[in-house]
Amino acid sequence: MSIDSHYGDNLQQQQALLSQLRSACPDGADAWQLAPIDQLHSGGLQASLHLRDTLAACLAPQPAPRILDAGSGAGGLLRLLAQLPGADVTGLDLCHNLNRLSLALCQLYQPPCCLTQVSGDAQCMPFASDHFDAIVLQHSLLNMPKPDQALDECLRVLKPGGHLVLHELVQGPAPSQMQFPVPWARGQEQSHLHSHATLSALLQARGFQICTATDLTAATLAWRQRQDSRTEAQTLRLTPALILGPDFPLMFANLLHNLRHGAIGVMQYLAKPA
């Protein structure tokens, strides 16, 4: 199964989902209400808010920064970035059905947001060189068989002095414990994880200087464990299964197993062109 099919096959018919949202939220839906379908990465909405704040601190002196979310999915992080003052925000994703959903959710989102959504491959970006002030990848490299090409493209389209922020799953100390399916892959052929050491070396080899590298594995495991203990009622009957399919509960259980047993870890990097 292709990556496009993995994320897009269950979105062939989006009108029922959008009608449900409009009916339940006639005045619009906020980031918390949409999180079950547009925050599909580990750490959920809080992880995206942290990424937004990280970028805001990096870009604070700039009045109108251009930001690229490479691998933007259903647009959850993208809409948060669009709230930054003066930001010109672009999302890039290989899956056209996810891009269509992202734009449709923008019409329902409160507060209102304006952004650009592009269907394309981050390993061959359709953008001019030296175009963006910042690029963020959130659980994106894990689906890319050629991460070196993606990082080369990031370096090309990033302005000198720009910032690259990665929030990525990495291979843990016990990769043999890995169980599939997981939210980003139904099998090994779709999953492209690298160890922290390998990814750090790859960033440096492709021309980036790592400013900070933060291990978020323990915090992500605590977040995942809290999901099983949640008892509060949701105002909307939204679930990641609407995008990832009916085997999402098994994917989510395997995510917990893989975190607990050291098959995967979670890292956040802040880097700049060397």
- Collapsing DSSP to helix, strand or coil, 123 comes out as coil
> Global pTM?
0.94
Residue ranges making up the domain that contains 10: 3-171+193-238+264-273
Mean of the pLDDT values across residues 211-239?
A: 82
Predicted pLDDT at 93 = 96
Q: Which residue shows structure tokens 């779709």?
A: 190
Per the CB < 8 A criterion, the answer to whether 272 and 164 are in contact is yes
Q: Is residue 36 assigned to a domain? A: yes
What average pLDDT does the segment 148-158 reach? 98
Residue 179 lies in a domain: no
pLDDT tens digits for range 128-145: 999 999 999 999 999 999
Angle at 17 between CA 187 and CA 82, to 5 degrees: 85
**Count of domains for the chain:** 1
pLDDT of residue 16: 81
CA distances from 232 to 31, 45, 207 (A): 17, 16, 46
Whether 136 is covered by a domain: the verdict is: yes
Q: What percent of the chain has pLDDT over 70?
A: 97
How do residues 66-82 score in pLDDT, each as one tens digit? 999 999 999 999 999 99
* Measured distance between the N- and C-terminal CA atoms of the chain, rounded to whole angstroms: 37
Instruction: Indicate whether 82 belongs to any domain.
Output: yes
Number of neighbouring beta carbons within 10 Å of residue 249 = 12
- Rounded to the nearest 5°, which phi and psi values hold at 212? -145, 150
Average pLDDT taken over every residue of the chain? 93
For 10, phi and psi rounded to 5 degrees?
-85, 5
CATH code, domain with 206: 3.40.50.150
Q: Which residue has the tokens 């099919």?
A: 5
**Does 37 reside within a domain?**
yes
